[in-house]
């Protein structure tokens, strides 16, 4: 049986818009004019009047953490309550009152950002959290995911005392007397995560279900998701099983390309030797690239820069891997049918990443490798050129401009800022730039991301535009969330556009983005979302 969708404004991935398409099973049987579409129908087929609404391919969030998002949806939501430290603490208190913590459990929250605090201008400490509870251990993760704070009970449970031993690639915050202040940065956060009881497979599935529902409501039909590192104690097999079981029961309503996070060659080797390689799987759950975390984040000044931070000369940030360690991982993946995607925020980290890719490609040339740079924020002109020459993919998050407009120049200084977040320059050099949210770092609000890509300002328009010549057109922004995402997962022949034979993954929007003023793009709402021809979200009127 076929379904005709007619009377729409349909962006297929190329202009001009068309007005109709036909879905048969999970794919598109026709895309074009209503008259021709109707000729394909027989009497038992159905019709849907799109009433003039805008339709495009379902959105692809090309770098995020689906399980982390589901986990956030099951934890205290600090992001909307981060304008004052007091409000953040109130939010934790309310969550504790409404979600009692079982014995041995922790109160978990995520999403604070002290740059937004109006009552204090510092990070929260254990003393602050002690005002929420001295009985229940508490862990509150900063929005960036590169830093967290625990209360005194938490430190007691962790057994972290005076003058703690500092781990590689991370830091345990201490006061002048060497007493832990409750803060943990980057790799040091593993000490905390390892102590928090992990969910079982059914609880993982509940988190995935919640995340899928929330993603569908934003028009997202595909994600490229880094999930293995959220709970280091849970083997990757269990994460895969959770997804596969949800797929089998028809509950996986987002297509997942897993960005497989491993930190050592033996772990990666074990994964590969069990038959895993990029592209293995189904259209709903596929093994994606090896995912590495190259450095930290700009907000917490842990992104690895080639010079000291302009607003803190004592630091250049943190590199997670030495050049040798990164080379070894990239080389192994490159020679074992694995694509690679590396989180890279600072320019010194980018040097290391480019070096690793160049060595691997020189030793074993491979066409169409689609290795990539995730974030690609702080960059120099020579590096942008090298990204193009090496044929790399770039995974940008234009929504980051909403916050980073406030801090880029302060953090890296005006010189380096001039050639950073230069995603349009990369497009112009022929680099495929896909978009995403890095959720739960930002919420997966696609239309907000599209607005930032086009305006280069904060969402409220009060700061910026930052490098306005780096703005995407509306079409480039839509493509970054559709076509280019499909390109990143080698699936440009099956999704990312509305073309004959492609998957019927599409989204119905409340307005035509080509006709809405740029600063209002984020107000466009998602009316309905379809995955493989099946409606998985409908806006409640
Ligand atoms: Zn990420």
Q: State the Cα–Cα distance between residues 32 and 12, nearest whole angstrom.
A: 9
Distance 293 CA to ligand 1 centre (A): 8
Q: Are residues 188 and 266 in the same domain?
A: no
Domain boundary at 160, 178, 195, which?
195
> Nearest CA to 112 among 59, 153, 149, 137?
149
Instruction: Specify whether 186 is located in the same domain as 263.
Output: no
Residues 284 and 433 in one domain: yes
**Distance from Cα 137 to the centre of ligand 1, integer Å:** 26
Q: Is the same domain home to 187 and 268?
A: no
Q: For residue 288, is it within any domain? A: yes
pLDDT above 80 (res 541): no
Q: How far is the CA of 437 from the centre of ligand 1 (A)?
A: 8
Q: Cα of 456 to ligand 1 centre, how many Å? A: 21
> Which pTM was predicted?
0.88
Q: CATH number for the domain including 112? A: 3.10.310.70
CA distance 538 to 507: 10
Q: What tens digit of pLDDT does each residue of 38-81 get? A: 999 999 999 999 999 999 999 999 999 999 999 888 899 999 99
363 CB contacts (<8 Å, ≥6 apart)? 331
DSSP annotation of 200? -
C-alpha pair distances (Å), 199 with each of 71, 80, 147, 171, 231: 10, 25, 22, 26, 9
* Ramachandran region, residue 18 (left: φ > 0; alpha: ψ -120 to 50; beta: rest): beta
Give the pLDDT confidence score for residue 224 in this predicted structure: 98
Given 470, 493, 516, the domain boundary residue is 493
Do 346 and 408 contact (CB within 8 A), yes or no? Answer: no
Question: In angstroms, what is the span from residue 431 Cα to ligand 1's centroid?
Answer: 20
CATH code of residue 268: 3.20.20.140
C-alpha–C-alpha distance, residues 368 and 339, integer Å: 10
pLDDT in tens, 381-412: 999 999 999 999 999 999 999 999 999 999 99
Nearest in space to 64 (alpha carbons), one of 242, 346, 254, 197: 254
Judge whether 315 lies within some domain: yes
Q: Looking at the structure, do residues 279 and 155 belong to the same domain, yes or no?
A: no
CA of 95 to the centre of ligand 1 (A): 26
Q: How far is the CA of 340 from the centre of ligand 1 (A)?
A: 14
Asked whether residue 310 is assigned to any structural domain, the reply reads yes
Whether residue 464 lies inside any domain: the answer is: yes
**Residue 225 buriedness (CB in 10 A; 0-12 / 13-18 / 19+):** buried
The pLDDT, as a whole number, for residue 456 is: 98
324 and 407 together in one domain:
yes
Q: Which domain holds residue 412?
A: 259-493
Burial readout 159-193 (b: 16 or more C-beta within 10 A, e: otherwise):
ebeeebeebebbbbbbeeeebbbbbbbbbbbebbb
Q: Is residue 212 one of the residues assigned to a domain? A: no
CA 375 to ligand 1 centroid distance, Å: 8
Determine the distance separating the centroid of ligand 1 and the alpha carbon of 441, expressed in angstroms. Answer: 7
CA 233 / ligand 1 centre spacing (Å): 19
**Residues 442, 337: one domain?**
yes
Is the domain of 188 the same as that of 269? no
pLDDT single digits (tens) 173-185: 999 999 999 999 9
Distance 64 CA to ligand 1 centre (A): 5
Residues 177 and 267 in one domain: no
The strand pair at 285-293 and 340-344 is best described as parallel
For residues 186 and 264, membership in a common domain is answered with no
Segments in 119-235 forming alpha helices (H)? 126-130, 152-158, 189-195, 201-217
Phi, psi of 64, rounded to the nearest 5 degrees? -160, -175
Q: How far is the CA of 389 from the centre of ligand 1 (A)?
A: 25
Domain-embedded: residue 376: yes
The residue that leads in pLDDT, 35 or 300, is: 35
Cα-to-centroid distance, 16 and ligand 1 (Å):
35
In Å, how far from its chain's centre is CA 272? 24
Answer yes or no: do 344 and 422 share one domain: yes
Question: What are the pLDDT digits (tens) for 238-287?
Answer: 999 999 999 999 999 999 999 999 999 999 999 999 999 999 999 999 99
With the CA atoms of 484, 488, 490 and 494 taken in that order, what torsion angle do they form, in degrees rounded to the nearest 10?
Answer: -40
Rounded distance from Cα 225 to ligand 1 centre (Å): 8
Closest of 505, 520, 513 to residue 60, by C-alpha: 505
148, part of any domain: yes
Report the distance separating Cα 463 and Cα 385, nearest Å: 29
Cβ contact 236:201 at 8 Å: no
Helix boundaries (H) for 218-277: 236-248, 265-273
C-alpha 157 – ligand 1 centre gap (Å) = 28
- For residue 485, what pLDDT is reported? 98
| Number of structural domains found in the chain | 2
Query: 277 and 131, same structural domain?
Result: no
Going from the Cα of 170 to the center of ligand 1, the distance in angstroms, rounded, reads 17
291 CA to centre of ligand 1 in angstroms: 9
Give the Å distance between the CA of 514 and the centre of ligand 1.
30
Domain membership flag for residue 60: no
> Over the stretch 324-377, which tens digit does the pLDDT of each residue have?
999 999 999 999 999 999 999 999 999 999 999 999 999 999 999 999 999 999
d(CA 41, CA 167): 65
Cα 98 to averaged position of ligand 1 atoms, centre (Å): 30
pLDDT value of position 75: 92
How far is it, in rounded angstroms, from Cα 8 to Cα 116? 42
Q: How far is the CA of 120 from the centre of ligand 1 (A)?
A: 28
Ligand 1 centroid–CA 341 distance in Å is 11
Distance from the alpha carbon of residue 298 to the mean position of ligand 1, in angstroms:
13
Distance 74 CA to ligand 1 centre (A): 19
């Amino acid at each position: 049986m076929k379904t005709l969708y007619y009377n729409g404004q349909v962006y297929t991935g190329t202009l001009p818009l068309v007005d109709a398409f036909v879905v048969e099973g999970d794919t598109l049987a026709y895309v074009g004019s209503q008259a021709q579409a109707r000729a394909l129908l027989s009497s038992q087929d159905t019709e849907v009047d799109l009433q003039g609404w805008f339709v495009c391919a379902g959105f692809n969030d090309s770098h995020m953490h689906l399980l982390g998002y589901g986990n956030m949806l099951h934890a205290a939501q600090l992001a909307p309550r981060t304008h004052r430290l007091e409000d953040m603490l109130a939010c934790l208190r309310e969550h504790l009152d409404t979600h009692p913590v079982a014995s041995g459990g922790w109160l978990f929250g995520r999403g604070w950002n002290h740059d937004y605090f109006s009552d204090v201008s510092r990070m929260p400490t254990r003393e602050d959290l002690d005002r929420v509870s001295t009985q229940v251990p508490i862990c509150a993760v900063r929005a960036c995911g590169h830093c967290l704070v625990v209360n005194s009970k938490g430190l007691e449970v962790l057994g972290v005392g005076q003058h703690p031993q500092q781990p590689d690639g991370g830091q345990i915050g201490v006061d002048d007397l060497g007493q832990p202040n409750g803060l943990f940065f980057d790799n040091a956060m593993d000490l905390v995560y390892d102590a928090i009881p992990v969910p079982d497979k059914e609880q993982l599935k509940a988190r995935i279900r919640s995340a899928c529902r929330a993603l569908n409501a934003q028009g997202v039909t595909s994600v490229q998701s880094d999930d293995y590192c959220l709970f280091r104690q849970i083997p990757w097999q269990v994460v895969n099983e959770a997804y596969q079981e949800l797929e089998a029961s028809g509950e996986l309503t987002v297509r997942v390309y897993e960005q497989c996070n491993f930190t050592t060659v033996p772990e990666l080797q074990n994964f590969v030797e069990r038959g895993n390689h990029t592209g293995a799987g189904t259209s709903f759950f596929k093994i994606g690239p090896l995912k590495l975390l190259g450095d930290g984040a700009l907000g917490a000044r842990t992104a690895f820069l080639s010079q000291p931070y302009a607003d803190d000369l004592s630091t250049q940030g943190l590199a997670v891997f030495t050049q040798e360690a990164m080379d070894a991982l990239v080389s192994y993946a490159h020679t074992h049918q694995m694509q690679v995607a590396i989180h890279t925020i600072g320019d010194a980290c980018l040097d290391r990443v480019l070096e690793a890719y160049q060595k691997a490609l020189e030793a074993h040339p491979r066409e169409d490798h689609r290795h990539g740079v995730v974030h690609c924020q702080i960059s120099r002109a020579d590096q942008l050129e090298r990204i193009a020459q090496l044929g790399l993919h770039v995974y940008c998050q234009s929504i980051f401009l909403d916050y980073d407009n406030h801090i880029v120049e302060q953090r890296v200084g005006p010189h380096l800022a001039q050639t950073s977040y230069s995603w349009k320059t990369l497009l112009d050099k022929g680099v495929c730039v896909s978009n995403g949210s890095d959720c739960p770092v930002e919420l997966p609000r696609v239309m907000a991301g599209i607005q930032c890509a086009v305006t280069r300002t904060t969402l409220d328009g009060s700061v910026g535009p930052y490098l306005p010549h780096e703005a995407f057109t509306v079409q480039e922004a839509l493509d970054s969330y559709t076509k280019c995402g499909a390109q990143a997962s080698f699936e440009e022949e099956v999704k990312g556009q509305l073309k004959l034979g492609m998957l019927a993954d599409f989204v119905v929007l409340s307005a035509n983005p080509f006709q809405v003023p740029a600063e209002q793009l984020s107000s466009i709402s998602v009316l309905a979302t379809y995955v493989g021809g099946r409606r998985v979200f409908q806006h409640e009127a």
